[in-house]
Amino acid sequence: MTNWQKIALASVVGLSGCGRSAAPPGKLQVFAAASLAEPFTELGRRYEAAHPGVSITFNFAGSNVLRLQIEQHAPADVFASANEAQMKALLDGGLVNSDSVRVFAGNRLTIIVPSSNPAHVVAFADLAKPGLKLVAADKAVPAGAYFEKLLERAAARTEYGNSFSSAVLANIRSREENVEAVVTKVRLGVADAGIAYQSDLHGSAGAFLTGIDIPPDINPPAEYPIATIAHGDAPELARDFESFVLSPEGQSILAAHDFLMTPTK
């Protein structure tokens, strides 16, 4: 799918050809992490309503995929990432405007179980139950990287320890390619439990899922940075949209989707 997106994007560039720099100023391309799909769609709708003549196109995918696309100079104006690592890579490559990088939202990992909760998971410690079918995101995507960090922190704690972390790892049945796939597997009941974001409980799958809190002192804060793209066609519009995301109105939309309003750092 990602290759197709790349090809589609490349053909858009090709078709507009020499007129690329003369693209209408009212068009904005926003590349945002898959977990941001719902709040960003709403943010875009609100922004368009307030700015007649502006049309926003979204490209939602894993942050790592979006980063690869931006590195291939896909036509993007704004990048909203689910972790710092992808943003830092683009920053180091000079592909985003360094003065525009801001953290705009926070998130936390949570345990998700099907509403029927077949394995009776009620606390974080239950993740080590022998035979529990657990799914998590792969280390390649932010949610998986945060999960690794969570297990490291748990291993360092006396109440959990190394044996706890290795028992949890032994329960992992699959490392999914993105956090949405984790949510789907749990929703379908293929897995007893999954590791996802708190904001995923707000999404359309939320009705089928129950969230179980992870102790906040070991739960690594997920931070979502946003920046404008250096090779973007609509730099002013991009900055204005970023300001809107950071504005009280934008923040309240994110908060309504269970993202943390005040970044934890």
Partner 1 sequence: MSEPPEHPRRNRNSAWPPLAGLPLALLLILPLFALVAHVRPSRFLHDLLQPATLKAIVLSLATSVTTVILSVLFGTALAHCLARRQFPGQGILETLISLPMVLPPAVAGIALLLTFARGGWLGTTLATLGMEVVFTPLAVVIAQTFVSAPYYVKSATIGLANVSRSLEEAAALDGASPWQTFRDVTVPVAWRALVGGAVLCWARALGEFGATIIFAGNYPGRTQTMPLAIYIGFQIDPDQALALAAVLLALSFALLMAIRLSFSQILP
Q: Which of residues 107-126 bind partner 1 (CB under 8 A)?
A: 118
Considering beta carbons, is residue 110 or 178 the nearer one to partner 1?
178
> Is residue 173 involved in binding partner 1 (CB under 8 A)?
yes
Q: Is 188 in the site for partner 1 (CB under 8 A)?
A: yes
Of 10-18, 130-138, 202-210, 211-219, which part binds partner 1 (CB under 8 A)? 130-138
CA angle 51, 57, 58 (to 5 degrees): 120
- The 3-state secondary structure of 96-120 reads ECHHHCEEEEEECEEEEEECCCCCC
Q: How far is the CB of 226 from partner 1 (least distance, A)?
A: 21
C-alpha span between 256 and 44 (Å, rounded): 15
Q: For residues 62-101, which are near partner 1 according to CB under 8 A?
A: 62, 64-65, 68
* Among 28, 30, 181, 209, contact with partner 1 (rule: CB under 8 A): 181
Can you tell me which of 12, 37, 190, 205 binds partner 1, judged by CB under 8 A?
190
**Residue 12 interacts with partner 1 (CB under 8 A)?**
no
Return the closest-CA partner of residue 265 out of 84, 27, 72.
84
HEC profile of 130-190: CCCCEEEECCCCHHHHHHHHHHHHHHCCCCCHHHHHHHHHHHEEEEECCHHHHHHHHHCCC
Footprint of partner 1 on this chain (CB under 8 A)? 62, 64-65, 68, 118, 133, 135, 138-141, 172-177, 181, 185, 188-191
